[in-house]
Amino acid sequence: MSIFDQTNKRRCTNSVKWDAMDKVYGLTDASDILPMWVADMDFTAPVAVTKALREHAEKTVFGYSFVGEEALQSIIDWQNTRHNWQIEKDSILFCNGVVAALANCITALTNPGDKVLISSPVYPPFYNIPKSNAREVISCPLVEQDGTFVFDFEVFEQALSQNIKAYILCNPHNPGGYVWDEATLKEIVRLCAKYDVLIISDEIHSDLMIDGATHTPLAKIAGAEIDRIITCMAPTKTFNLAGIQVAYMIVTDKRKRLKLEAINMASGQGSLNTFASVALQAAYTEGSSWLDELLTYISKNMDYAIKELEQLPGIRITKPQGTYLLWIDYRDLALDEKEMMKRLLETGKLALEPGTKYGEEGRGFLRMNVACSFETIKDGVQRFKLALQS
Ligand SMILES: Cc1ncc(COP(=O)(O)O)c(C=O)c1O
């Protein structure tokens, strides 16, 4: 029996994953729908995190606080032990979330009207954040190769040459769970340097490495180009703490740090909720074995779901190297996305994410979150089969 076998009651807790499906999917009643959509796990956080939060609550005084030395050190140690990456304390800037960090980078380091490049299909805020801040989004498609998506560097360079100001990289990649190798990352850095492009590297999924895959922080291999990179990281995806809202940027270039600090100053942001740094520190100092157990569990969930779903004609799934999301290819079926979603929701009573949420290149794919108990995976697989067999 694993701690992850436990099923937690999340319905009626104001959970986005469990309680917002009616709004997200336009349903009048979503009470019988199984949510396997947004990237939020069903698992309880490590005991060390809940214990630290409880102890903090028991202090009963919640005045203004700052992030202490121990929390800062826990980030440095985590990056060192988990990713063999040495970072400096002064390079760390905090944020309430990685999406907020992306927004701060865009507003602080680019100007209205500037072009921002992304590699699609990709996490929706990569489109929305620059667009909402009056920047032009240029979407450069990844190309399919042996069941995964890869960079076509000719097309990528062509895009970069069009006066691009910033590139947002998803490392590892969501959706799809591609863990970019060092050669790919070096080529991204080389080309962005050639066209003097800022790189914002979203590495929120970096701790979720499946079957021994290795995450390479982009800045770690950037050599002399390190100052053109802002790395965005967080313990929230790793330890299921998204509601705690804590993230950080690693910014080696002092001028960029000053600009980012000025943006915080202008909007009155910048300090963390007093519980956020407590959760971060507990997760990073005491959460390692919890994470290792989680990764083994997720890998087994993936194996089961892939084996079962690939028995359905027209379904293909490549096991991801990172994250807990399956990118399900149903392009061989004569089903358009609307019909597929209708079947899943109405017949299967199952909420997955339609691929086009990640861009046009996602058409014919579904994203399925497998960070749940094995019982839930079995239920989800059954619901998927029911939807397709109808
Ligand atoms: C690539 C990526 N970046 C950022 C986020 C969200 O980060 P946050 O909750 O810290 O804003 C997600 C959540 O799924 C994600 O997949």
pLDDT of 101-123, one tens digit each?
Answer: 999 999 999 999 999 999 999 99
pLDDT at 67: 95
pLDDT band at 1 (very low <50, low <70, confident <90, very high): confident
What is the per-residue pLDDT for 10?
A: 86
Q: What is the mean pLDDT of residues 116-138?
A: 98
pLDDT exceeds 80 at position 390: no
Cα–Cα distance measured from residue 282 to residue 371, given in angstroms and rounded to the nearest whole number:
21
CA distance linking residue 137 with residue 166, whole number of Å = 10
| Predicted confidence (pLDDT) per residue in 195-239, tens digit | 999 999 999 999 999 999 999 999 999 999 999 999 999 999 999
For residue 270, is pLDDT > 80? no
The pLDDT score that the predictor gives to residue 271 is: 83
Ligand 1 atom closest to Cα of residue 246: 10
Q: Give the number of the atom of ligand 1 that is nearest the alpha carbon of residue 38.
A: 14
Q: What is the predicted pLDDT for the residue at 159?
A: 98
**Which atom belonging to ligand 1 lies closest to the Cα atom of 97?**
10
Q: How far is the CA of 241 from the centre of ligand 1 (A)?
A: 11
Taking the alpha carbons at both ends of the chain, their separation in whole angstroms is: 35
Instruction: Tell me how far apart the alpha carbons of residues 210 and 212 are, in angstroms, rounded to a whole number.
Output: 6
Residue 348: enclosing H or E segment and its boundaries?
none
Q: What mean pLDDT do residues 1-30 have?
A: 92
Among 40, 93, 99, 233, name the best residue to mutate to test ligand 1's pocket (greatest count of ligand atoms within 8 A of Cβ): 99
Nearest CA to ligand 1 atom 13: 39
Q: Which atom of ligand 1 is nearest to the CA of 323?
A: 16
- Pocket test of ligand 1: the residue of 16, 123, 215, 241 to mutate, having most ligand atoms within 8 Å of its CB, is 123
Are 170 and 237 spatial neighbours (Cβ–Cβ below 8 Å)? no
How far, in Å, from the CA of 101 to the mean position of ligand 1?
A: 10
The predicted-structure confidence for 35-56, as pLDDT tens digits, reads as follows 999 999 999 999 999 999 999 9
What is the rounded distance in angstroms from the CA atom of residue 149 to the CA atom of residue 202?
Answer: 18
Q: What local confidence, expressed as pLDDT, does residue 7 receive?
A: 78
Amino acid 262 reads A
Closest atom, ligand 1, to C-alpha of 122 = 1
Do the beta carbons of residue 2 and residue 294 sit within 8 Å? no
Statement: residue 312 has pLDDT above 80 = yes
Structure confidence at residue 269 (pLDDT): 83
> Domains in the chain, start-ordered, CATH in brackets?
3-46+288-389 (3.90.1150.10), 62-286 (3.40.640.10)
- Alpha-carbon distance 98 to 250, whole Å? 12
- The DSSP result for 176-213, as a single string, is T-----HHHHHHHHHHHHHTT-EEEEE-TTTT-B-TT-
- Mean pLDDT across 289-315: 98
E runs forming strands in the chain: 34-35, 92-95, 115-120, 136-141, 143-145, 148-150, 164-170, 198-202, 229-233, 247-251, 316-317, 325-329, 350-351, 353-354, 365-369
Q: Which residues line ligand 1 (CB under 6 A)?
A: 39, 97-99, 123, 170, 174, 202, 204, 234, 236, 242, 247
pLDDT of residue 309: 98
Mean pLDDT, range 274-297, rounded to an integer: 98
pLDDT in tens, 327-382: 999 999 989 999 999 999 999 999 999 999 999 999 999 999 999 999 999 999 99
Average pLDDT, rounded, for the chain: 96
Name beta bridge partners: 351. Answer: 35
DSSP letter assigned to residue 33: P
Quick one: pLDDT band at residue 75, thresholds 50, 70, 90?
A: very high
**Position in ligand 1 atom list of the atom nearest CA 95:** 10
Spacing, Cα 99 to ligand 1 middle (Å): 6
Q: Where are the alpha helices (DSSP H) in 240-348?
A: 254-267, 274-286, 288-309, 337-342
d(CA 370, CA 192): 34
